[in-house]
Structure 1
Amino acid sequence: MESKIEVLIIGAGLSGLTAALHFLKSGFPVTMVEKSSYPHHKVCGEYLSNEVIPYLEWLGIDLNLLSPVSIDKFQFSTNDGQLLQATLPLGGLGISRYALDHFLFQEAIARGCHIIQDTVVDLIFNEDLFLVKMANHDPITAKIVIGAYGKRDGLDQKLSRSFIQKKSPWLAIKAHYDGSFPDDLVGLHNFEGGYCGVSKVEKDRINICYLVDYATFKKYKSIPEHRLQVLYKNPHLRRIFETSKPLFDQPLTIGQISFEKKTVIENHVLMIGDTAGLIHPFCGNGMAMAIHSAKICASSVIAYLEGGLLSRSKLEKQYRTSWNQNFLSRITAGKIMSGILRKKQLTSKFMRILIKYPFLLSMMIKQTHGKPIIP
């Protein structure tokens, strides 16, 4: 039998769970559909900028309960080992998605969120309502649907999103390690065809996550061989890997990561987090952007449900404008910087400029990070 609800969120990841907590705090019931069970690891750099801490505190979320690592230094190296260091303007926390997402998931349930473990297979918008069809449950009719299902999903095909039609060259690989690495440092190390982020998370674990061009990767038979032949050419990466012990049986991987421009609203579905737009991982700001986008979306929807925005078109216009104001320039800056790092000659020139004018590195970091989010 078909049930009717006001707010449905598809995807219980970082952005979806944050949005749910915002609605619940504001007195609005919310239903979530999530295909995976918790807890589980995700491919992610696992650095969370402090810009979101005031907002999380407003939501009643105390991340200190998860014993995160405090990080305030940034280190960047080129493939040949040239090294630059900077202080992060706001700093951040090293915290795994395994711990953070599970914590938020439990909080959402404790606060009354209704969670359905299933896969959404179709969305139909008609007469100002959504009909949401799932693989194993009866359909749901919803007034508002928020897409928070991640970087790439079969639902993108159903919605005919333009980016899904284009093949992406990117492959991401991530694992946790036991070894020696400074608690207060996040490192970004360049190699041919990609770059690798290294930082601590809770329980003294090192998170190593890297993005590689698939055309470069496929020349090698396996992840270990590619690492040995390509990543090890950067002496800093070689030292880190050689002095660390993997804690996963196998690294996690995700392919077809797209940095193409995405639509923030598709067929009246409001997109948040990576579903709305993806900043290059080397910027280290994806987690904070996911949380911030959830706040912007939830605030706009609440204004609409309370009558402050008199039409769906005004709701969509306000959300699209707010999203672009907060994130578009940061995503563009990330894309430009990533393009430079992918080209050897440009990277060398880039490094010479940064060595001569080190303040430019801090300016670059600020370009891809936001200001503290005031609730």
Structure 2
Amino acid sequence: MDTYSHIIIIGGGLAGLTNAIHLAKAGVPVTLIEMNTYPKHKVCGEYISNEVLPYFDFLDIDIDALQPTRISKFNITTQKGKCIQSTLPLGGFGVSRYVLDHYLWKKAAVAGVQLLCDQVTDVHYHNNSFRIKTAGNRVLTSDYVIGAYGKRTQLDKTLQRSFSYRKSPWLAVKAHYKTDFDSNTVSLHNFEGGYCGLSMVENNVVNACYLATYDSFKKYKDLGIFQKEVLCKNPHLNTFFKSAESLFNTPITISQINFDKKKPVEDHVFMTGDAAGLIHPLCGNGMAMAIQSAQILSELLIKNYDQGLITPRKVIEIDYTKQWNKAFSKRLYAGRALQKILLNGRLQELSYTIANTIPAIVPKIIKQTHGEPLIC
């Protein structure tokens, strides 16, 4: 016999867990399926803009309990090591996904979310409802499905999402380190073919996460050699890695990261977080965007549930798409534009000159990739 839930969420990252907590808080029956167990490290910049704090307060998420690092400054360096410094208009905080996701998972359980550790293998929509199959031989049905499974999975091909058939040239690498570091600063350091973000999370641990083109990496095919021969040509990264002690046996990696445009709704599945659209890490705000996408969708689904499911599915899909585009399309465009500039050595140097001539321009650019506080 099939198991029924009004809403099923596929994926237990930031977007999925925030969705689940918000819906459960409003009394909406919700099941979340996550293939991994927690705690678990994830490839991520691990910096979150303070814009999410009012929403976290609404959800009774006590971020202070995780002892995050408070961040108010931003540095960016060119491949040659020239540095641009600025303040962050709203500020932010650093907390590891290892700690945050586990906290949210436990919070979801307390809120009444049905949590399943399993892998979804098929999603089928028919006659205004969904049928979901899992690797654990579960069969579930639901009225709505939320795809919160991250950057790229086999489910994208199941749903025939166009970007899933194209190869992507990007490789992401992340590890944690112990070293002396300005806890108040998030920094971004460019190197040939990519850029590396450094910021502190809880317990005085520094997260180093970089994105590189596969073309720049493939002739080395070894992360240690690539770090030494390419990243460390930036003098700031050279200084960091010479003094830093890695807390991981080996870095964790993700390949085939795709920054192509995605649709917020695919075959009637609502997409949130990275499944809906991935901002370039150089913008440093993907975690806040994932959380906000969960807020937008949750409010639409709660309103419909409270009104007795009278709103046609198509209307909700159109509303979500409109609100998602209003919140994020300009940010994603800004991220793509900034990446083109920062991966070009000559444009980097020109940007450095402009930023030092007109310092006020940097906070204004940062604001293009950040939102306003999420008031509920």
Alignment TM-score, normalising by the size of structure 2: 0.98
Superposition deviation, residue 306 in structure 1: 2.5
1:141 equivalent to 2:117? Answer no
Q: Distance in 1 between matches of 2:244 and 2:181?
A: 9
- 2:130 maps to a residue whose letter is F
Q: Distance in 1 between matches of 2:203 and 2:57?
A: 23
Per-residue deviation, residues 273-318 of structure 1 (Å, max 9, x unmatched): 0000000011110000000000001111112222376200110010
Counterpart of 2:245?
245
1:193-342 matched pairs, under 5 angstroms:
193-307=193-307, 310-342=311-343
- 2:120 maps to a residue whose letter is V
Q: Distance in 2 between matches of 1:356 and 1:138?
A: 61
Per-residue deviation, residues 113-161 of structure 1 (Å, max 9, x unmatched): 1111111111111110001111113211100100000000010010000
1:9 equivalent to 2:6? Answer no
Query: Are residues 250 and 146 of structure 1, via their aligned partners in 2, closer, same or farther at CA, if it must alter by over 3 Å?
Result: same
Per-residue deviation, residues 4-51 of structure 1 (Å, max 9, x unmatched): 210100001110000000001111121011100111000000001100
Q: Distance in 2 between matches of 1:48 and 1:178?
A: 21
Deviates more, 1:186-195 or 1:220-229: 220-229
Q: Secondary structure at the match of 2:373?
A: coil
Per-residue deviation, residues 308-345 of structure 1 (Å, max 9, x unmatched): 76200110010000000000000100010001111112
- 2:108 maps to a residue whose letter is A
- 1:257 maps to a residue whose letter is I
Counterpart of 2:372?
371
Counterpart of 2:158?
158
- 1:373 maps to a residue whose letter is L
Q: Secondary structure at the match of 1:7?
A: strand
Q: Which ranges of structure 1 fall in alignment gaps of 5 or more residues? A: none
Counterpart of 1:126?
126
Counterpart of 1:106?
106
Counterpart of 1:61?
61
Q: Secondary structure at the match of 2:144?
A: strand
1:359 equivalent to 2:339? Answer no
Counterpart of 1:23?
23
Q: Distance in 2 between matches of 1:309 and 1:348?
A: 56
Q: Distance in 1 between matches of 2:322 and 2:369?
A: 18
Q: Distance in 2 between matches of 1:227 and 1:25?
A: 45
Superposition deviation, residue 190 in structure 1: 0.5
Alignment TM-score, normalising by the size of structure 1: 0.99
Per-residue deviation, residues 64-92 of structure 1 (Å, max 9, x unmatched): 10100000000000010100100000000
Q: Distance in 1 between matches of 2:367 and 2:137?
A: 45
| Structure 2 contact 13–148 (Cα < 8 Å) conserved | yes
Q: Distance in 1 between matches of 2:147 and 2:183?
A: 35
Per-residue deviation, residues 216-235 of structure 1 (Å, max 9, x unmatched): 01111311111111111110
Deviates more, 1:315-324 or 1:108-117: 108-117
| Structure 2 contact 46–94 (Cα < 8 Å) conserved | yes
Superposition deviation, residue 359 in structure 1: 1.1
Deviates more, 1:274-283 or 1:353-362: 353-362
Q: Distance in 2 between matches of 1:81 and 1:123?
A: 48
| Structure 1 contact 34–118 (Cα < 8 Å) conserved | yes
Deviates more, 1:350-359 or 1:151-160: 350-359
* Structure 1 outlier segments of 4+, above 4 Å: none
Q: Distance in 1 between matches of 2:251 and 2:41?
A: 10
Counterpart of 1:173?
173
Deviates more, 1:356-365 or 1:50-59: 356-365
Q: Which ranges of structure 2 fall in alignment gaps of 5 or more residues? A: none
- 2:254 maps to a residue whose letter is I
- 1:194 maps to a residue whose letter is G
Q: Secondary structure at the match of 1:85?
A: strand
Q: Distance in 1 between matches of 2:349 and 2:66?
A: 40
| Structure 2 contact 171–212 (Cα < 8 Å) conserved | yes
| Structure 2 contact 28–305 (Cα < 8 Å) conserved | no
CA RMSD, aligned part only? 0.9
Q: Distance in 2 between matches of 1:277 and 1:286?
A: 9
Deviates more, 1:305-314 or 1:158-167: 305-314
Q: Secondary structure at the match of 2:29?
A: coil
Deviates more, 1:300-309 or 1:196-205: 300-309
Q: Distance in 2 between matches of 1:215 and 1:22?
A: 42
- 1:277 maps to a residue whose letter is G
Task: Count the aligned residue pairs.
Answer: 375
Query: Are residues 340 and 309 of structure 1, via their aligned partners in 2, closer, same or farther at CA, if it must alter by over 3 Å?
Result: farther
Q: Secondary structure at the match of 1:295?
A: helix
